[in-house]
A = this chain, B = another copy of it.
Amino acid sequence: MTLWARFRTREGREGFGQLTEGEIHEHAGDLFTTAEPTRMQVALHDVTLLAPCRPTKIIALWNNFYALAAKLGKAIPAHPLFLLKPASSVIGPDEPIHRPRSYQGKVAYEGELGIVIGRQCKDLTVEQAHAAIFGYTCVNDVTAAQVLNENADFTQWCRAKGYDTFGAIGPVISSDVDVSSAHVTTRLDGVERQNYPLSDMICPPEQLVSCLSQDMTLYPGDVIACGTSLGVGSVPDGSTVEVSIEGIGSLRNRLGAQQGAPDS
């Protein structure tokens, strides 16, 4: 299994490399094009992991699992349905999710598979899409649930899901995992709340990348959050959400204090 991590050392230096048995084998160059191993390695416990890539956008799917579509009574979409989460929403493993100032309502977790794009691409066939996928990561697609339908005329997808820290990705990118037989598991303070098979996905990764590349140019590091399934719920303040996928790892983020306030 090839796992790519980005990190920051205690001295503030940032780097990236392959994670093997508690050690990150550093690489130089660009993760997507020119990564070359250096001779340096750092111990995982000596560094802070960062979001494993820096997306220009997160394309977040809605209604992409048969089980959830059936539960909600929604028709199967003819084309992937999505909203955009901005780059400013991205955080990495163990970074706190901040409740927006002046929002007292429910904050929801959504455990999801994230596709990491490896090259600039447009109008791909399904076959070409396979080569454009660099790997996979875990996503917590955080949502300010009461903002979503606050206005009767306009569903505020981008606002409810676009707040700073509402796009958690990581802990690493797995570049050779077979996700088709994997499950997404979400635990809230250690208690399992979601456990769904990726085989239930309506529009699977290669087809998704092909379809979305008809809509817009995708860039290296862009993330497609594949949508969630059954078991979405609320995160109490101070609770930790852990999204796990076999072959990738576990992404943990705690809902901290409000932005601007000290994060206890």
Q: Which residues of A approach B to under 8 Å, CB–CB? A: 56-57, 62-63, 74-75, 77-79, 81-84, 86-89, 100-102, 122-123, 150-159, 162-164, 214-219, 259-260
A230–B91 alpha-carbon span in the complex (Å): 40
- Given A101-B123, A154-B62, does the pair A88, B216 have CB atoms closer than 8 Å? yes
Given the known interface contacts A86-B57, A164-B122, the answer about A81 and B154 at a Cβ–Cβ threshold of 8 Å is yes
Copies per assembly: 2
Chain B residue contacts of A163, Cβ below 8 A: 215-216
Show 14 A/B contacts (Cβ-Cβ < 8 Å), sorted by A: A56-B87, A57-B88, A63-B153, A77-B151, A79-B150, A79-B151, A81-B153, A83-B158, A84-B162, A88-B216, A88-B219, A100-B214, A101-B123, A162-B215
A215 near B100 with CB under 8 A, answer: yes
- Further 15 A-B residue pairs, CB within 8 A, beyond A82-B156, A82-B159, A89-B216: A57-B84, A57-B86, A57-B87, A57-B88, A63-B154, A74-B153, A83-B158, A84-B158, A88-B217, A88-B218, A100-B215, A101-B123, A122-B259, A159-B215, A164-B216
A156-B81 contact in complex given A101-B214, A164-B216, A214-B101, C-beta closer than 8 Å: yes
B123 touches A260 (CB 8 A): yes
CA A57 to CA B56, docked complex, whole Å: 9
Partner of A75, one of B86, B87, B153: B153
CA distance A87 to B222 in the complex (A): 12
Q: Which residues of B contact A101 (CB under 8 A)?
A: 123, 214
CA distance A164 to B215 in the complex (A): 7
Cα of A224 to Cα of B72 in the assembled complex, Å: 34
- Docked Cα-Cα span, A23 to B158, in Å, equals 40
Rounded to whole Å, the gap between the CB of A27 and the closest CB of chain B is: 26
> Chain B nearest CB: distance from A212 CB in Å?
9
Contacts of A75 in B (CB 8 A): 152-153
Inside 8 A of A100's CB, which chain B residues have their CB? 214-215
Distance between A124 CB and nearest chain B CB, rounded to angstroms: 12
CB within 8 Å for A84 and B84 given contacts A75-B153, A164-B122, A214-B101: yes
